[in-house]
Amino acid sequence: MDHLPLWAQIAAIFLLLLCSSFFSISETAMMALNRHRLKHLVGQGSLGAKTTQGLLARTDQLLSVILIGNNLFNTIIPVLTTSIALRTFGHDNFVLSIATGIVAFLIIVFAEITPKIVGATFPERIALPASLLIAPLMRALRPVVWFVNTLAGGVLRMLRINTKNGRDQRLTAEELRTIVVESASFMPTKHRSILLNLFDLENISVDDVMVPRRQIESLNLVSPLDDILHQLETCYHNRLVVYEGDIDNVLGILHVRKTLTGLHNQDFDRDTLRTLLAEPYYVPSGTPVVQQLQYFQESRQRTALIVNEYGELEGLVTPEDIIEELIGEFTTSMPRSEHTGGWNADGERIVAGSMPLRELNRWLHLKLPTDGPKTLNGLILEELEEIPEGDVCVKIAGVMLEVMRSDDQAVRTVKVFKPRAARGGSR
């Protein structure tokens, strides 16, 4: 290039810097590109996205082409600069040192740092158009790339480094949860809440969502017929657990609406009710709710009775109970959901000791632990290790709880105080 004028040689240096910058910015942008976003763009038919996905599927070849081009230009630039310095100023060591420092500064700033920052900031805007230029270049340099990769592979084998095991980029459940949590800017709050609840569903059993034994709306077949008929006409649910004498002696499940319709043309007696009962459907305590939801679909059942290892009835669960864990409580007239509102003006709330912890957390936006006892009474007894006598206060997970009423069996009524952090956040 000695026959070229000085301005042309300087222009060539800046052109080489621009080419080196292109490879640097392309490398950073493609490595920083969101693979899931890329798959979405491929599904929409984007040519740049399809080309980029094809290049990233051969990461070793892609990096070889980019690094060969980048290092080739970064090597030519100092050589050309030195040639210009020698031609202009002669063999002056001081001038050569200054020229070397200047060219190193230009490479670092304009061919490395600046392009990489831009590429990391706008990966999608840069990677997709750049792939249309790199793809044909990769095909043209295929023999060179093969030779370089063969040598690099040999070195990796000598070092016993297995690159195949490091290519799995599947997201874990916790990583997906983090993505959902950070999606507040473009995902509605309700949708985000449902997705987060869906992740929690894997760690929840039917014991967490069931209606406890004492709250099951049931029908005792030995009751007077007038009382039975009155209960059928005023019950909250369309399906009742029917037992005889003791609730552990379950006879079946009664469909109330069909029963009342059919009794208009029949004599109302216990034997008639027995013929209308459906077989009870039992599930063991501790069954995961995801698995139980699948069982409901397969068995076409709407009500499951939960029994412990001794065969004793623990509670009742329906598909609606499981769905409520995802989308929140339905607006119904069930006794279980009779609480309304939240904290009073003093930041307090009086609740029953039998209230399930998950329901209490949802209602008052608390974070009481749910990996142990399932009710507020059980949580307090576990903390105190005895049934309290008189008024007792206890602080659990930052929540102050005051026992207002208890008996020889359990804590009956509890006053819950709003945590200080929540009070400050609501002002």
Cα(321)–Cα(212) distance, integer angstroms: 12
Domain boundary pick from 327, 350, 372: 327
Q: Are residues 354 and 318 in the same domain?
A: no
- Render pLDDT for 147-189 as a digit per residue (tens, 0 to 9): 888 888 888 888 887 766 655 556 677 777 777 777 766 777 7
**Are 309 and 368 part of one and the same domain?**
no
Domains: count for the chain: 3
List C-alpha distances in Å: 83 to 9, 73, 177, 379.
10, 15, 57, 81
Residue 105 belongs to a domain = yes
SS3 405: strand
pLDDT higher than threshold 70 for residue 338: no
Q: Are residues 154 and 11 in the same domain?
A: yes
404 lies in a domain? yes
Res 166: pLDDT: 54
* C-alpha span between 303 and 169 (Å, rounded): 41
Give the helix/strand (H/E) hosting 293.
Answer: helix 289-299
Among 420, 423, 418, 387, residue whose Cα is nearest residue 403: 387
End residue of a domain, out of 279, 305, 327: 327
> Are 277 and 219 within one domain?
yes
User: What residue numbers bound the domain in which 375 lies?
Assistant: 339-425
Residues 291 and 370 in one domain: no
Average pLDDT, stretch 93-120? 87
Which residue stretches of 90-164 are H helix?
A: 93-106, 114-121, 123-140, 142-158
303 and 250 within one domain: yes
Residue with tokens 């209602």: 363
pLDDT at 52 over 80: yes
Contact 334, 239 (CB under 8 A): no
187-196, 270-279, 385-394: least confidently modelled range: 187-196
Kindly state the average pLDDT of the residues 10-35.
Answer: 88
As a whole number of angstroms, the distance between CA 375 and CA 214 comes to 12
pLDDT of residue 355: 84
Same-domain pairing of 226 and 288: yes
Is the residue at 27 inside a domain?
Answer: yes
Report the predicted TM-score, pTM, of the whole model to 2 decimal places: 0.56
Mean pLDDT within 8-33: 87
Ramachandran bin of 8, using left for φ above 0, alpha for ψ from -120 to 50, beta for the remaining angles: alpha
Question: What's the whole-number mean pLDDT along residues 41-56?
Answer: 89
In a domain, residue 314? The reply is yes
Q: How far is CA 245 from CA 218, 221, 293, in A?
A: 11, 7, 31
- Crossing angle of helices 173-181 and 189-200, in 10° steps, is 160
Query: What average pLDDT does the chain have?
Result: 83
Domain co-membership, 322 together with 348: no
Residues 134 and 280 in one domain: no
Domain ends where: 166, 188, 221? 166
Residues 116 and 93 in one domain: yes
Q: Write the pLDDT tens digit of every residue in 195-205.
A: 877 877 777 88
Residue 333's pLDDT is: 44
Q: Any idea what the CATH number is for the domain that residue 358 is in?
A: 3.30.465.10
The CATH number of the domain holding residue 307 is 3.10.580.10
216 shares a domain with 321: yes
The answer as to whether 277 is a domain residue is yes
Residue 195 belongs to some domain of the structure: no
Residue 370, in any domain of the structure: yes
Give domain status of residue 179, yes or no. Answer: no
User: Residues near 400 by Cβ (< 8 Å), separated by ≥ 6?
Assistant: 393, 394, 416, 417, 419
Q: What mean pLDDT comes out for the span 40-63?
A: 88
